[in-house]
Chains A and B, each alone.
Chain A
Amino acid sequence: MLSRTADSLYWMGRYVERAGNLARGMQVALRMAGLASSLGGGVDEWRTLLVAAGAEPGFLAKHKEVTPEAVIRWLALDADNPSSIANCIEAARGNGRAVRTALTVDMWEALNDTWREMRAQAPTAAEPDRLPQFLEWVRARTLLFNGAAADTMLRNDGWRFTHLGVMLERADNTARLLDAKHETISGEGSEGAVAYAQWQALLRSVSALRSYQWIYHTRLQPKLVADLLILRPELPRSLLSCHSRVEQVLDRIAESNGGRRGEAHRLAGEIHARLRYGRIEEIMEGGLHAFLTQAINRNIDLGREITAFYLHG
């Protein structure tokens, strides 16, 4: 496969996933903001989300103050934010269009319709009474796209690079979400009603609140929340699940490209192995924040190695 084609598919996957993750994060922030007064304040949801999305520096360069309205606009629509939902959709569609023959008709339609509808609703999407509906729509479109890819793509390198992008982005998102809340899990703020609501919000944003109950059958405990999101193979958005897929997919890509392997493959294997054989007690002892910071950085390294090895020929 042409490196450019692989590159476009990989980024198409990443951007679609990123748009969906942002929508999820914003849905939860909205909900938390709605609960803020009954929880007695102290909830700075929007700042937390900015940090989790890695969008804080850009935001602060443009805005003096963190207000809900400004953050919502920045994350959902702002053209100056390369990772706003609108820009993610634009970038995903641009990548898809550049390699259109590598997409199935269903994928193309999911992508193209999303892009057209996004343009149509952009002017009003951030209005308070429109926002919840808009975020739900983004989430649904992401699910539709992933479904179209999973159901219709040939299982060749096209599928593998798309899937690789989705999984790396998803791992990154889970690590960042958890890291943004690490204080409520392992720090001083890890007790009380506010912390409890935070854990709920965190689980909700990765569609895992009920999954938690199915797995642990007990009330929320910070250590178990971290265990679920980092180490449980059952949860499709856990770091372990994502990195297990990343390693597998990279391995299949190597096989179908003459067996050539490099640092990307070694690193993916190492990350996966650490998660697979890791224990939550040790992670908590060593410090959750330190662990997650490292996880995020290694994820960035892995992305760089993949780019160097496959995508830039």
Chain B
Amino acid sequence: MVGGRESGFRINHVNESRRAFDEMHAGGGVRPAYAGIEAWLKAHGLEALAAKRAEAEALFRRVGITFAVYGEGGDPERLIPFDVIPRILARQEWDRLARGLTQRVKALNMFMADVYSKREILRAGLIPPSLVLQNEAFRPEMQGFTPPGGVYTHISGIDLVRTGPDDFYVLEDNCRTPSGVSYMLENREAMLRLFPQLCAGHRLMPVGHYPEELLETLKEAAPPNCQGEPCVAILTPGHYNSAYYEHCFLADEMGVEVVEGFDLFVEDAVVYMRTTAGPKRVDVLYRRLDDDYIDPLVFRPDSMLGVPGIFAAYRAGNITLANAPGAGIADDKAIYPFVPDMIRFYLDEAPLLQNVPTYLCERESDRAYVLEHLHELVVKLARGSGGYGMLIGPHSTAEQREEFARRIKARPADYIAQPTLALSTVPTLAGSGIAPRHVDLRPYILTGKDVRIVPGGLTRVALREGSLVVNSSQGGGTKDTWVLDDGPAPTQSQSQKMGG
């Protein structure tokens, strides 16, 4: 599934589309980055575009890029709608984002290293200790242990939304097992096949090297006791998992094994995979399995998906788990409001990316404000996944607001609230015409010895009119994300010169 912590995701900010920033047409004309798209659309028209969409769908079906949805009836292996009009960022816009993302992820990693050891940020009084220490995402088992290089979140997905030419906000951090990167890669492949000339006419910054960067990142995370070339593997919950295709795809691209829990065993605190050539030692495990399930000896004892003893092997320095157990403390919704403070505290820098203002209902003053402004706020559970327990103020009824007021008063610590944002739109092929649709952006940030980001990320688009829900299970689709390198676009691709 695209988005979320494996389990799903929604954008819950409502706006009036009238006010929304149109990334292609803002300011009365076509913004420069979209000039090539404008020209293509003028020259080829809607029908050609619709034909390309049909071609794209056939392509995705054939390759088998599906996400699995079991237990809901219907086709258990579904296709995510792909919109053929790309979402485009200028190099300059991207560079600014990339700096902000790098800064943010550095701070998040430093935060985790801190709260699992000296807790300086708590002692400095910047974050209420109870928010961290009593948080379900906080793993006491991780205390007094520093993962290789002090990295906790090796692969992060930071969800960004935009409200104006220069206004980007971080909507959510994902430091556990962010998914969707395979769509970023497949979308680009599809565009290169469907629109070779259009692509050649733009200076697209490539994304195809992501798997190599990922492999490098994982190798750099090798544990202290690793000898020689690190053996990397991906741990999947199995083929019933919605992101199973992605797990296989990344394993294939990196040339590593995709393993399930019972493919691994631990002996003398060393992790091995069972192969036809006998046990093979594993050094780095890119696990796409939640903390809870990873080791029944330490976390959920009823987990059939994990590996008994792997956590002890981890602490003994015999294997690296990426991302680290307990990394969820950094992307918790109750912690999110404090990320700008973390950046100032650990890096002594001003935050380059803004947070969406967030009210913690646990705080008395915030709570009073929230209760008075329910009709214009989005209220959500501080933790917990899925769309459960969410109130979208402007779309709510009086009864719903009363119900939420009761719940907030009963369990204030469980709720946060945010103002509604006017999310930007990008033209999208909807039904029989092109119409603006809301988008977000999830760049993937890799942290090894250095921070690496391939330009762009996954653009998710809400395909229904007025909808802000980009979740793939609720009618959300994806677009290719182009970052255009500076300088004039080449008018044609290079060709071999004959004679001379």
Verify that A and B bind, or say they do not. Answer: yes
State A157–B239 Cα separation when bound (angstroms): 22
Chain A CB within 10 A, most for which of B64, B259, B274: B274
Q: Does the CB pair A101–B274 fall under 8 Å?
A: no
Chain A positions 58-107 with a Cβ under 8 Å from a chain B Cβ: 97-98, 100-101
Tell me the nearest residue of chain A to B258, going by C-beta: A101
Q: Is B251 an interface residue (CB 8 A)?
A: yes
Tell me the nearest residue of chain B to A112, going by C-beta: B64
Q: Is B260 an interface residue (CB 8 A)?
A: yes
Q: Does the CB pair B273–A2 fall under 8 Å?
A: yes
Q: From residue B155, how far is it (CB to closest CB) to chain A in Å? A: 20
14 further contact pairs, Cβ within 8 A, besides A1-B275, A253-B276, A313-B265: A2-B257, A2-B273, A2-B276, A3-B276, A4-B260, A97-B239, A100-B64, A100-B248, A101-B252, A257-B276, A257-B278, A258-B278, A260-B277, A311-B276
Q: Does the CB pair B251–A101 fall under 8 Å?
A: yes
State A181–B138 Cα separation when bound (angstroms): 68
State A309–B262 Cα separation when bound (angstroms): 16
5 A-B residue pairs with Cβ-Cβ distance under 8 Å, sorted by A, are A4-B274, A97-B239, A100-B64, A101-B258, A313-B265
Tell me the nearest residue of chain A to B279, going by C-beta: A313
Given A97-B239, A313-B274, A313-B275 in contact, is the A3-B248 Cβ separation under 8 Å?
A: no
Q: Does the CB pair B277–A2 fall under 8 Å?
A: no
Tell me the nearest residue of chain A to B277, going by C-beta: A257
Contacts of A3 in B (CB 8 A): 263, 274-276
Given A98-B239, A100-B248 in contact, is the A4-B263 Cβ separation under 8 Å?
A: yes
Q: From residue A118, how far is it (CB to closest CB) to chain B in Å? A: 16
Q: Is A310 an interface residue (CB 8 A)?
A: yes
Chain A CB within 10 A, most for which of B239, B257, B276, B277: B276
How many interface residues does A have (CB within 8 Å)? 20
Q: Is A31 an interface residue (CB 8 A)?
A: no
Mask, A250-264, CB within 8 Å of B = 1, is: 000100011010000
Contacts of A260 in B (CB 8 A): 277-278
Contacts of A50 in B (CB 8 A): none
How many interface residues does B have (CB within 8 Å)? 20
Chain B CB within 10 A, most for which of A97, A161, A260, A313: A313
State A157–B273 Cα separation when bound (angstroms): 17
Interface pairs A-B: 8 shortest CB-CB: A313-B274, A257-B277, A3-B274, A310-B276, A1-B276, A101-B248, A4-B263, A6-B276
Q: Is A312 an interface residue (CB 8 A)?
A: yes
Which one of A108, A258, A312 contacts B274 once the chains associate, using CB atoms below 8 Å?
A: A312
Mask, A1-19, CB within 8 Å of B = 1, is: 1111010000000000000
State A96–B147 Cα separation when bound (angstroms): 37
Given A97-B239, A313-B279 in contact, is the A2-B274 Cβ separation under 8 Å?
A: yes
Contacts of A257 in B (CB 8 A): 275-278
State A82–B104 Cα separation when bound (angstroms): 55
Q: From residue B200, how far is it (CB to closest CB) to chain A in Å? A: 28
State A100–B265 Cα separation when bound (angstroms): 23
Contacts of A311 in B (CB 8 A): 276
Chain A positions 149-179 with a Cβ under 8 Å from a chain B Cβ: 157, 161
State A313–B264 Cα separation when bound (angstroms): 10
State A258–B275 Cα separation when bound (angstroms): 12
Contacts of B275 in A (CB 8 A): 1-3, 257, 313
State A257–B277 Cα separation when bound (angstroms): 5
Contacts of A100 in B (CB 8 A): 64, 239, 248
Contacts of B251 in A (CB 8 A): 101
State A311–B278 Cα separation when bound (angstroms): 10
Chain B positions 219-259 with a Cβ under 8 Å from a chain A Cβ: 238-239, 248, 251-252, 257-259
State A108–B278 Cα separation when bound (angstroms): 28
Contacts of B260 in A (CB 8 A): 4
Contacts of B276 in A (CB 8 A): 1-3, 6, 157, 161, 253, 257, 310-311, 313
